[in-house]
Structures are given as structure tokens and as C-alpha cells.
Amino acid sequence: MTDRLRIALQKKGRLADDSFALLKKCGLRFAIRGGGLLARVKNMPIDLLLVRDDDIPSFVANDAADIGIVGENVLVEEQLTSQDELNANITMRLGFSRCKLSLAAADTGKVQSVTDLNGTRIATTYPGVLGQYLRDNNIKAKLVEMKGAVELAPSIGIAESICDLVSSGATLEANGLTAFKTILESEAVLIQSGRELSAAKAALLDKLMRRIDGVIKSAE
């Protein structure tokens, strides 16, 4: 790898917008153009690797990037579902992109609380986190794994409830669903593998983290 610090970021979405804004406040100068996988920071030896958020933990674990910014929800899900132990851990909490992973159902349906879940179907894109919650609470329910649009599952009749991210709550409301249990609280986190960085990269990361800290503190 080069001596430029490589940061894996979500290419598009709410986490991406927040991540770009944070890095700009830290003084990094870069332009994101549609479709590019790599964006070069003009005033520092840093490259931004623009990918799907779900890929960020494994890219960091496998040395495709030195660090990453990702939702804690995605990190935990990847830790729980990866085949081998995932070499990616939280270095710093970033305090933005806060959301909850919650169970939700229609007000009129047969599932109104956690105690109703036994023997029902739950649609989710988080089989790892949900599976662990169900095991820990001795609940026997069937997971319906989806890649997206989980909020549609109850109305199309493939599940009695869903387990999905809730931020503003607008998506649940638009689909006539109400959250009845939060199983994970999440925020954006900076992640890193256990591998040692070169002295130059370590010094740069240190400087970046001090700036991030300053930006977070000044926002409080």
C-alpha cells in the first residue's frame, strides 16, 4: 500500500453526507464526483475509498483501507455474521448518524410487543444482531432476510413484524408501523484493524483524530 492514509467511507447516503461534512470541517479538501471509487484529498496525504457501508468493516479488516467511518450497527452486524473473527474495532465514537435498530409492527396486527414474537416471522436486513437478540431472549421466530425495503414486509404479508433502522421515524410512520422495542443503539464510529500503521500514517491519523475531537467538542 502507498504511504497515503486510506479512509473507507460510504459513497452515498446519510452516513456519507455526515462523514464528508465532518472531514471537510477537519480541513480536508476533496471533491466527490459521481461513480469514482477513490477521491484524493488535495492538501493532505489521504485517499477516500468510496464504497457501500456494509463493505467497510471487511475492507478495513482485510487491509483495503487503513481506517473506516461506518455505523456501529453495520460493524456489529458484520462482527456477528463474518466467518472468521473480524479484525476491525472501534477507535473513536463520532456522535453523528445516530439511529436505533428497532422491532416494529402494525398497530392492528397480532404482534404488539416482544412477548408476541414467538412463532411469527420478522423481516430484517440485520440477521446477525436480531438473531442474537432472539437467542438471548429465548424467542423462537423465523427471520425473513431482505436486502432493503423491509418496511413493506408486513403489508405484503411476508412477515408480522420488522427489525430495521429508525432515525427520524418517518419511514415507519409512512408504512403504518410502530416501534415496540429497540435492540441496538448506533452512531457513526471510526474503525481500525489491529495491524500497526507506518509511523507516517500513525502520525497523520493522530492529527486527524485530534481535529475530529475538536469538531465534535465545538458542536456540543
User: Least Å distance between CB 175 and ligand PRP?
Assistant: 9
What does residue 70 show for φ and ψ, rounded to 5 degrees?
Answer: -150, 160
User: Least Å distance between CB 102 and Zn ion?
Assistant: 17
In this structure, are residues 95 and 216 in contact, taking their beta carbons and an 8 Å threshold?
yes
- 120 near ligand PRP (CB under 6 A): no
Kindly determine how many residues on this chain lie close enough to bind ligand PRP according to the rule CB under 6 A.
Answer: 12
- 169 near ligand PRP (CB under 6 A): yes
At 57, the amino acid letter reads P
Q: Within 22-81, which residues bind Zn ion (CB under 5 A)?
A: 53-54
In this structure, are residues 139 and 114 in contact, taking their beta carbons and an 8 Å threshold?
yes
Task: State how far the Cα of 155 lies from the Cα of 40, in Å rounded to an integer.
Answer: 45
Task: State how far the Cα of 100 lies from the Cα of 169, in Å rounded to an integer.
Answer: 10
Task: State how far the Cα of 89 lies from the Cα of 12, in Å rounded to an integer.
Answer: 23
Pick from 33, 170, 218, 220 the residue near ligand PRP by CB under 6 A: 170
Three-state DSSP at 174 gives helix
In this structure, are residues 20 and 12 in contact, taking their beta carbons and an 8 Å threshold?
no
Q: Within 176-205, which residues bind Zn ion (CB under 5 A)?
A: none
118 or 182: CB nearest ligand PRP:
182
Pick from 37, 168, 217, 220 the residue near ligand PRP by CB under 6 A: 168
If contact means CB under 5 to 8 A according to the sort of partner, which of ligand PRP, Zn ion, none does residue 207 touch?
none
Q: Within 185-204, which residues bind ligand PRP (CB under 6 A)?
A: none
Pick from 81, 89, 120, 171 the residue near ligand PRP by CB under 6 A: 171
Task: Indicate the helix (H) or strand (E) that contains 202.
Answer: helix 199-219
- 152 near ligand PRP (CB under 6 A): no
- 166 near ligand PRP (CB under 6 A): yes
- 147 near ligand PRP (CB under 6 A): no
Count CB atoms within 10 A of the CB of residue 98. Answer: 14
- 167 near ligand PRP (CB under 6 A): yes
Q: Within 9-38, which residues bind ligand PRP (CB under 6 A)?
A: 13-14
Task: State how far the Cα of 132 lies from the Cα of 145, in Å rounded to an integer.
Answer: 15
Provide the binding-site residues for Zn ion, judged by CB under 5 A: 53-54
